[in-house]
A and B are shown apart, each in its own frame.
Chain A
Amino acid sequence: NAGVMQNPRHLVRRRGQEARLRCSPMKGHSHVYWYRQLPEEGLKFMVYLQKENIIDESGMPKERFSAEFPKEGPSILRIQQVVRGDSAAYFCASSYRQGSSTDTQYFGPGTRLTVL
């Protein structure tokens, strides 16, 4: 059973371009979470999705950022018109279900975005 897959692992974009980050959850997992880790800071929650639904986007910047988790295919975190402050490591996590106190979130290796 493969773990959480993220690609690309490293992404370089120039200011104003778009960045697309992909996350394939573990097999059988239908809950996906995105977190961002800015340099020298802790991980911050961005968004929580289930298949075809955004459940909690309270940590997402209001502009330029969007996320989806379609019925088929990976979850996508999209950043439009990137700025240097978007440079960070973006981690995806998945879980089997929500509502169990023992339900662990399994993390992917992250995508390191660098904006030039």
Chain B
Amino acid sequence: KQEVTQIPAALSVPEGENLVLNCSFTDSAIYNLQWFRQDPGKGLTSLLLIQSSQREQTSGRLNASLDKSSGRSTLYIAASQPGDSATYLCAVRPDTGTASKLTFGTGTRLQVTL
């Protein structure tokens, strides 16, 4: 059974700092991995999707890496801003047949202070 863990559970940083969020998963047989952002009381916004064959993806100030063999992914946020404050979730999709369900971590709650 796939388990996804995110560390740290919460993080507070001053504006302008670079930061790294960690995600680990127990079963390396994944199809892809996604990073999402969730604002309080809102839905999820997809940030980056990394295919199982890829090592990293970049979008603006965000960079996500994937080491499938060791079951790890990181989300790097450069020059953090108060608007980055949210909960960040990683999710993996299994590499089995028609399975499309995502397994989510419990998230990292990020607060960027002025």
B32 touches A56 (CB 8 A): no
B43 touches A108 (CB 8 A): yes
Residues of B contacting A104 in the complex (Cβ-Cβ under 8 angstroms): 34, 46, 49
B99 contacts A by Cβ under 8 Å? yes
A107 to chain B, nearest CB (A): 4
Number of interface residues, chain B, beta carbon within 8 A: 27
A105 contacts B by Cβ under 8 Å? yes
For the complex of A and B, list the 3 residue pairs with the smallest distance between their C-beta atoms, beginning with the closest.
A45-B101, A107-B44, A109-B43
List residues of chain B with CB under 8 Å of any chain A CB: 4, 31-32, 34, 36, 41-46, 49, 51-53, 89, 91, 98-107
List residues of chain A with CB under 8 Å of any chain B CB: 4, 31, 33, 35, 41-45, 48, 55-56, 58-59, 91, 93, 95, 98-99, 101-102, 104-110, 112
10 further interface pairs, Cβ-Cβ under 8 Å (given A43-B104, A101-B31, A107-B36) = A43-B91, A44-B104, A45-B102, A56-B99, A56-B100, A59-B101, A91-B44, A101-B53, A102-B51, A105-B34
